[in-house]
Amino acid sequence: MLGRTLGASSLAFYSVDGDYNLYDFRCSGVPREFFRLYLCEMHKLDPLHVRRVASRPDRVVRMQDAPTYMEQGEIDEYKRFLRRYDFIENIDILFRSEGEIKAGLSVIWREKDRRPIETLHQLANDLQPFIEYALWTHVDMPKGDPMIKATKTFHLTPRESEVVKLLCFGRTNADIATCLGIGVSTVKTHLIRIFDKTGVETRAGVVARFSAFS
């Protein structure tokens, strides 16, 4: 409904933990390959990532404001990434609780959508308080990243935790190796240790174990 209101065909809702990591993504109209590349590497260049904008008071952050706090070369590289998937513009609507950003919604326009104009940005800004109120009043939002609790429970190393996150996103061993910059054999070694620590024997078993914490 919000996408139709703003004329955007792609949306990505996400939760934010205490270290400004994004998790619990719920996407609509977002290509799988785009999402994979974003998680693996391109989030580091995202001008609207929570880490870059957390100190700003804005309810809605826009790409056109990014040059005030980010190098133009990095912005251009990220825009080229967007255009590879036919994305022409995006904004992020941020939701706070007790002054801290706890969730966000990326609204992304594609070439086939009507081009976003200033009135749409203002509409998103006007809608933000109502969406935020609904989130904290009617939606059972996560209190924190369930992965953190699961990692502590099973005594995983930071690298093993990264492997599990990607595994839970359905990534293959080759995908995980590419994302983390390690060899496939190293991924297999990490998986063996993860199996041992979690008491399971398969990748599906690991996913089931960690899903229980969600």
Residue type for 83, please? R
Q: For the chain, report the end-to-end CA distance as a whole number of angstroms.
A: 26
Predicted pLDDT of residue 142: 54
Domain boundary among 120, 138, 156: 138
One domain for residues 156 and 101: no
Please name the residue that has the structure tokens 């940005």: 121
> How far apart (Å, rounded) are the C-alpha atoms in residues 176 and 40?
9
Burial of residue 174, with CB atoms counted within 10 A of its CB: 0-12 exposed, 13-18 middle, 19 or more buried: exposed
Predicted pLDDT of residue 190: 94
Predicted pLDDT of residue 78: 96
Domain boundary among 138, 159, 183: 138
126 backbone φψ class: left, alpha, beta (φ>0; ψ -120 to 50): alpha
Full domain range(s) for residue 183 = 146-211
Predicted pLDDT of residue 92: 96
One domain for residues 74 and 162: no
Domain boundary among 110, 138, 166: 138
* Domains of the chain: total: 2
One domain for residues 54 and 150: no
Closest to 118 in 3D by CA, of 60, 50, 46? 60
One domain for residues 172 and 114: no
Predicted pLDDT of residue 150: 81
Burial of residue 58, with CB atoms counted within 10 A of its CB: 0-12 exposed, 13-18 middle, 19 or more buried: middle
Q: Check: CB of residue 160 under 8 Å from CB of residue 190.
A: yes
One domain for residues 7 and 51: yes
One domain for residues 99 and 150: no
CATH of the domain at 71: 3.30.450.80
One domain for residues 46 and 113: yes
One domain for residues 89 and 153: no
Rounded average pLDDT per 10-residue block, the chain, 214 residues: 85 86 87 88 92 92 90 94 95 91 94 83 90 78 67 87 87 88 92 90 86 72
C-beta neighbour count of 4 within 10 angstroms: 8
One domain for residues 14 and 86: yes
pTM exceeds cut of 0.75: no
CATH of the domain at 197: 1.10.10.10
